[in-house]
Structure 1
Amino acid sequence: MPYKTAQIRLVSSHPEVYEPCDDSFALVDALLADRTNLLEHKPSICLEVGCGSGYVITSLALMLKEEIPSIYYLATDMNPHAMRVTRETLQAHGVDAELINTDIMSGLEKRLEGLVDVMVVNPPYVPTPEDEVGQAGITSAWAGGEDGRVVIDRILPVADTILSERGWLYLVTLAANNPSQICRSMREKGYASRIVVQRSTEEESLHIIKFWRDPEVRPSLKEASTQNRSAPTRLGESLLSQFSRFSFWKSSNGSGSL
């Protein structure tokens, strides 16, 4: 029996707000695929950065509310129109979240430091000219600057600050963002990672990656550095093999998930 997610017909819209698309659906599918783990995780605070239409945060609240009604949900977006649209989407589905009009988490890092158990992000990841990043209106929803990494690289340190010790981050990335390098960067901060869902369309290849703190990661990095600074850890090799395998699936099957 499928679990509830936000209904497209009840998702509010505005010309300057990004509507649910393949990346939004892939992120919600990743959360659904990991739902059993999320229920066992019993998060207290869930946050979406860049909520847009509210489709993702609403879907997350719907899929967890029956078993864990006490979760506190927050969502941020720099687009003021997204605040209204997300509020309407939440209300149409009978769920609630605190909405904050801010750029990523500006002004909230101290308040939420070490408290967020689940963080979901569908960032602006499309490679664009640098001057398009952070523009007013809907352009800010996709403009990611060089390699589509400008906003992603701003989000990752914030995630490291606000995630709890048991916090999880679900991040949408594009193949052009070099997701394997993102995983290596997060590994240096002590995070393990895995691809939850991979989806290929005619225009892009998406990876939904889950990150979590792993006490075994930092020692393995130190040991690897001592023995051979140029040798990748087994974790890195595993992740790279995932991306290589998905590249093959892209040409043969079109989609896949772990």
Structure 2
Amino acid sequence: MTEDGDAGLAERRGLDEAVVYQPAEDSGLLAEAAVAEAHGRVLEVGTGSGWVAHQITEERGLDVVGSDLNPHAVRQARDRGVEAVVADLLAPFRADAFDTLCFNPPYLPTDPDNEWDDWMERALSGGESGRALIDPFLADAGRVLAPDGVVLLLVSSLTGFEEVLGLVEDAGFDAERVVEESFPFETLTVLVLRRA
């Protein structure tokens, strides 16, 4: 590769770091739950850097696919060795395709007047309620989930925990808390969802 090519690649990778959600406390909790609960073929929705998907593959040896709307995230996940595709939630996936779905949704409540409309906002903002992507994800999860499949969903107290439980029930799932950690500004919980 030429020096110009190397510089272009380095610049692109620097850009990727700035516009791709990197592992944080929530990622660690989802990975912990997924390593314990995931089985079969796994899809991590909103894979970001691919760190959680990589942890599942390394720790459990499972077949994991990552998906993200952000093409920079998909590229970074692939660089990490994760099979990854550009996708809007569950739209492109066929029925009964996965035994485990993992999702750390964008959950920060965001005033529409203060949205900044870039890739990082899409990775963080859950709309006004913080649940803008949780609702459509849950509404479609049963379609792509195998009959004995499970969903691992990270929920922040900032999104309204009871409201999320209502969406879970409306989607036909029972919820169980598997991992939880409190911070000064929020409590993060990973729920395992099974068909009711």
Fold match by TM threshold 0.5? yes
Q: Distance in 2 between matches of 1:122 and 1:190?
A: 20
Cα deviation for residue 131 of structure 1 reads 6.6
Q: For residue 126 of structure 2, what is the aligned residue in structure 1? A: 144
Cα deviation for residue 27 of structure 1 reads 0.8
> 1:39-95 CA distances to partner (integer Å, 9 max, x unpaired)?
xxx51x210100101110001111111xxxxx43211111111011111122xxxxx
Would you say how many aligned residue pairs link Structure 1 and Structure 2?
Answer: 182
Q: For residue 17 of structure 1, what is the aligned residue in structure 2? A: 20
Q: Distance in 2 between matches of 1:22 and 1:205?
A: 11
Is the CA contact (8 Å cut-off) linking 2:157 and 2:187 kept in structure 1? yes
Cα deviation for residue 202 of structure 1 reads 2.4
Instruction: Say which is worse superposed, 50-59 or 177-186, in terms of deviation.
Output: 177-186
Q: Quick one: which amino acid aligns to residue 122 of structure 2?
A: S
Q: For residue 184 of structure 1, what is the aligned residue in structure 2? A: 166
> 1:226-248 CA distances to partner (integer Å, 9 max, x unpaired)?
xxxxxxxxxxxxxxxxxxxxxxx
Change (3 A) 1:119 1:131: farther
Aligned alpha-carbon RMSD (Å)? 2.1
Cα deviation for residue 143 of structure 1 reads 0.5
SS in 2 for 1:127: coil
Q: For residue 77 of structure 1, what is the aligned residue in structure 2? A: 68
Question: Normalising by the residue count of structure 1, what TM-score does the alignment of the two structures yield?
Answer: 0.65
Larger Rg: 1
Match of 2:176 among 194, 204, 213: 194
Cα deviation for residue 115 of structure 1 reads 2.2
Q: Quick one: which amino acid aligns to residue 63 of structure 1?
A: E
Q: Distance in 2 between matches of 1:17 and 1:86?
A: 10
Cα deviation for residue 134 of structure 1 reads 9.9
Q: Structure 2: which 5+ residue stretches go unaligned?
A: 1-13
Runs of 4+ in 1 over 6 A off after TM superposition: 131-134
Cα deviation for residue 178 of structure 1 reads 2.0
1:1-258 correspondence to structure 2 within 5 Å: 14-32=17-35, 35=36, 37-38=37-38, 42-43=39-40, 45-65=41-61, 71-90=62-81, 96-97=82-83, 99-106=84-91, 108-109=92-93, 112-130=94-112, 135-214=117-196
- Going by fraction, where is strand more abundant, 1 or 2? 2
Q: Structure 1: which 5+ residue stretches go unaligned?
A: 1-11, 66-70, 91-95, 215-258
Q: For residue 9 of structure 2, what is the aligned residue in structure 1? A: none
Q: Distance in 1 between matches of 2:90 and 2:171?
A: 19
